[in-house]
Each structure stands twice: as structure tokens, then as C-alpha cells.
Chains A and B, each alone.
Chain A
Amino acid sequence: DAGVIQSPRHEVTEMGQEVTLRCKPISGHDYLFWYRQTMMRGLELLIYFNNNVPIDDSGMPEDRFSAKMPNASFSTLKIQPSEPRDSAVYFCASSSGAGYEKLFFGSGTQLSVL
């Protein structure tokens, strides 16, 4: 398996623009997680899905953030409108058993909002 695949690797956009991040989890993994990493706050869980259903989105900072998982092999994280404070590295991760099993991360998307 190719692992968790994220795109794009880098995204530079202007404040107010819509940003869409994409993720393909490892085949057969039932859980998908979106994390955000910054120097100040470290890794923060934004939302996670189980069998394509959002289970906990309490980490989503604002209504500007939304996430979908239309099928088992694809998820998106959308920010609309984007703000400079959204600049961070966004990671997608998947697992076969939530926290009970190892978590596999993608390479991340470096987002810069100017």
C-alpha cells in the first residue's frame, strides 16, 4: 500500500480564498483523522471519521472549517474563507482501530495564508 496520500503538499493562498485539502487513507482503515500542527500548539485533532461518518468535530476551530468523507477512499478538509492564522501543516491520518492500533500519517499539506 502507498500509505496515506495527501494533496497538495504545499498551498499558498490569499486571505479570503477557499482552500481544499485532500486525503486518501490506507485501504481497509475504518478511521480517518485530520490534524493541524503548529509550533505554538503542537498537534491538534480537528475531526475524525469512522466508516465515513464524522464522529467528533469538536476540534474544528470555526464554522469556516468543514470536512467530508464521501467514500472510504477519499476525504476533504475545506477552509472558507481562509485567514492568516490558519497557516499550519495539516495532516491526515488513518487507522484500523482508532486509538487501539497504530496511527498512520500522510506527509501533510503546508498551508500558508497571506
Chain B
Amino acid sequence: KQEVTQIPAALSVPEGENLVLNCSFTDSAIYNLQWFRQDPGKGLTSLLLIQSSQREQTSGRLNASLDKSSGRSTLYIAASQPGDSATYLCAVYMGSNYKLTFGKGTLLTVNP
């Protein structure tokens, strides 16, 4: 059974700092991995989707990397801003049962 873990559960940084969020998964036979952002009281917004054949995806100040063999992905946020404060979740897709397996997320707080 696929399990997705995100450590730390919470992270607080000063504005302007570059930071890395971590995601690990137990079964490396994934089809793709998505990073989501969730603001309080809101739904999830897909930020980046990395296919298993890719090593990284970039969108603006966000860069997601994927290392299938080691079962890890990272989300790099450059020059963090208070508006980046949210919970970030990763989810993996195995490609066989149409289900995403989600981590429980990292709560990021960027302090002005």
C-alpha cells in the first residue's frame, strides 16, 4: 500500500528565505506526482505535476523535483513571501486505480 509522508508538519520562515518542502513515498512505481496548495477554508490548488519520466517542473518561484528511485520529491520556493503561507500537500498517482494518495501536508508560515 502506497504511503506518502511529508516532514516537517509545520515550518515557519522569515520573508525572503528560500525553502524546501519534502515529500516521500514508499512505492516508487508511481506514474506522476502533484504538489498542491491549500489556503485556510479553501480547496486544494494544483501547483505542479511531475510525470515519472521527468526530474523537475518549474512554475515561477516554484520548482518541484522528483527522484523516483529514492521515493522522494521536493518543492523549492524561492524568495518566499507572506502570501506563500498555506498548507502544501503532495500526492502520488500509481496509474492503475485512478486514485491519488495524499500526504498530510506541511503548514508553511512566512513571516513579514
Contacts and interface: CB of A to CB of B under 8 A. Distances in A.
Range class of the B interface residue count = 20 to 34
A102 B99 contact: no
Given A99-B32, A100-B93, A91 B100 contact: no
B112 interface: no
A99 B44 contact: no
Interface string B61-86: 00000000000000000000000000
Contact of B103 (A4, A42, A110): A42
Interface in A57-114: 91, 93, 98-108, 110
Interface string A31-61: 1000000000011010010100001100000
Given A102-B34, A102-B49, A56 B98 contact: yes
Contacts of B103: 42
Contact of A105 (B43, B95, B98, B105): B43
Interface of A: 4, 31, 42-43, 45, 48, 50, 55-56, 91, 93, 98-108, 110
